[in-house]
């Protein structure tokens, strides 16, 4: 292998690889990137065995070949170089010779044959979405995937096909950690025809979000029996689907609501942040009193003190008070945009639904807390 590549492309490629590799593992190959020089491009492959990223970058290849080496070391080197182009060449003993400006590195590597086998794709169906739409749907759902590895089936994002109010099919992403739930939908081109339930790991969604560089880029999502793939241009992320049963989430969605409150994002967000200071560190519980023209948040803490926040709010229905983990509302605000939020309520311990006015393609459910 002997090639010249721009520093910019090298850093872009290695930056993408960093999220895929596993640093804390007994298998050193999972922290490696496989470099393959072919034709007029450098291919970088990285895998943690569940997620595999393959991407091609333009390069002037003098000699084709492969080498696998620690991705973190090469990234660290690439980021400190200052000349515009970099030469990568396999030297003696499988060392990667990196030359740029007045710098010369020799990085310990190993032959490409030691790199893990890449799983074979079993594509059955493909649909097309734009980068901006896909990123929006991921942002609106990623935060409510359970981080608890023991919550079998809640560790992933559930994908399914639904029909929008306009009769058009949509791909819906649903996530829940048991205390809250989010869904967000994207309109797609092509055939989905999803034959089975699909559960994508959290890391897959997080990495796809990072891989989306442009809102108007075309992305293809391919589904197979055991895997899915996200592809755009010369870049492809293959993902092994999560085994496990996603709960029947529709049963927690209230069919009707007794109360509806509209609040301004900015004043609600500020009040949440201040109320959190006095909320318990354990469950971030704050009292929400929905009154005729205002929402009053209050919290108290034996050691630090208490707080009372008044948020202007339009309430349809009878006054009500209940408790919520304020972090759940903060997460919704971080993941979304727009000036207003609509909160739909039943009784004090019923699930609460948050909607964005003028958006029929996303919805958030927050379970209330019993106040002590």
Residues at the interface with a second copy (CB under 8 A):
70, 73, 76-77, 80-82, 95-96, 102-108, 267, 270-271, 273-274, 277-278, 303-311
Least CB distance from residue 325 to a second copy, whole Å? 18
* CA-wise closest residue to 268 among 208, 311, 316, 226: 311
User: Residues 80, 84, 88, CA angle at the centre, nearest 5°?
Assistant: 75
- CA dist list (Å): 239 to 19, 222, 260, 328, 371: 14, 10, 40, 28, 42
In the complex, least distance from residue 153 CB atom to a second copy, rounded to whole angstroms: 37
| Complex with a second copy: residue 30 or 186, whichever CB lies closer | 30
Per-residue H/E/C for the chain: CEEEEEHHHHHHHHHHHHCCCCCCCCCHHHHEEEEEEECCEEEEEEECCCEEEEEEEECEEEECEEEEEEHHHHHHHHHHCCCCEEEEEECHHHEEEEEECCEEEEEEEECHHHCCCCCCCCEEEEEEEEHHHHHHHHHHHHCCCCCCCCCCCCCEEEEEEEECCCCCEEEEEEEECCCEEEEEEEECEEECCCCCCEEEEHHHHHHHHHHCCCCCCEEEEEEECCEEEEEECCEEEEEECCCCCCCCHHHHCCCCCCEEEEEEHHHHHHHHHHHHHHCCCCCCEEEEEECCCEEEEEEEECCCEEEEEEEEEEEECCCEEEEEEHHHHHHHHHHCCCCEEEEEECCCCCCEEEECCCCCCEEEEECCECCC
Of 220 and 300, which has the nearer Cβ to a second copy?
A: 300
Considering beta carbons, is residue 108 or 162 the nearer one to a second copy?
108
Of residues 164 and 312, the one with the C-beta less far from a second copy:
312
Shortest Cβ distance from residue 294 to a second copy (Å)? Answer: 9
Closest CB 25 distance from a second copy, rounded Å: 16
Between 49 and 310, whose beta carbon lies closer to a second copy?
Answer: 310
Q: To the nearest whole angstrom, how small is the minimum distance from the Cβ of residue 310 to a second copy?
A: 4
Q: 39 or 270: whose CB is closer to a second copy?
A: 270
Q: In this complex, which beta carbon is closest to a second copy, that of residue 186 or of residue 272?
A: 272
Q: φ, ψ for residue 328 (rounded to 5)?
A: -65, -40
| Minimum CB–partner distance for residue 297 and a second copy (Å) | 10
Residue closer to a second copy by CB (options 310, 333) is 310
Give the nearest distance from C-beta 206 to a second copy in angstroms.
Answer: 27
Nearer to a second copy, 35 or 157 (CB): 35
- Bridging pattern class, strands 227-232 and 305-316: unpaired
| Nearest distance in Å: CB 62, a second copy | 21
- In the complex, the smallest distance separating the C-beta of residue 111 from a second copy, rounded to whole angstroms, is 16
């Amino acid at each position: 292998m002997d090639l010249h590549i721009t520093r910019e492309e090298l850093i872009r490629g290695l930056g993408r690889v960093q999220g895929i590799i596993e640093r804390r593992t007994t298998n050193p190959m999972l922290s490696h990137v496989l470099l393959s020089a072919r034709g007029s491009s450098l291919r970088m492959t990285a895998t943690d065995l569940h997620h595999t990223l393959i991407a091609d970058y333009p390069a002037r290849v003098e000699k084709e070949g492969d080498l696998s080496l620690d991705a973190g070391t090469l990234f660290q080197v690439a980021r400190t170089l200052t000349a515009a182009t970099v030469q990568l060449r396999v030297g003696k003993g499988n060392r990667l010779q990196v030359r740029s400006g007045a710098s010369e590195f020799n990085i310990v590597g190993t032959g490409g044959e030691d790199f893990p086998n890449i799983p074979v794709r079993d594509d059955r169906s493909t649909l097309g979405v734009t980068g901006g739409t896909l990123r929006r749907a991921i942002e609106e759902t990623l935060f409510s995937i359970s981080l608890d590895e023991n919550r079998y089936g809640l560790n992933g994002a559930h994908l399914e096909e639904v029909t929008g109010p306009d009769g058009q099919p949509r791909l819906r992403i649903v996530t829940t950690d048991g205390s809250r739930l989010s869904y967000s939908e994207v309109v797609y081109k092509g055939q989905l025809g999803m034959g089975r339930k699909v559960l994508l790991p959290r890391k897959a969604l997080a990495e796809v979000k990072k891989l989306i560089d442009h809102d108007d880029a075309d992305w293809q999502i391919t589904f197979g029996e055991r895997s899915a793939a996200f592809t755009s241009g010369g870049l492809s992320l293959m993902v092994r689907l999560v085994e496990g049963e996603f709960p029947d989430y529709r049963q927690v969605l209230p069919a009707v609501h007794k109360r509806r409150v509209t609040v301004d994002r900015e004043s609600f967000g500020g009040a949440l942040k201040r109320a959190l200071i006095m909320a318990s560190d354990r469950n971030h519980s704050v009292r929400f009193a929905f009154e005729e023209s205002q929402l009053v948040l209050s919290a108290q803490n034996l050691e630090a003190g208490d707080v009372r926040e008044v948020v202007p709010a339009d309430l349809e229905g009878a006054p009500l008070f209940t408790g919520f983990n304020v972090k759940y509302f903060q997460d919704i605000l971080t993941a979304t945009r727009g000036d207003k939020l609509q909160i739909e309520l039943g009784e004090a311990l019923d699930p609460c639904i948050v909607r964005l006015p003028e958006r029929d393609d996303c919805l958030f459910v927050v379970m209330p807390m019993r106040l002590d």
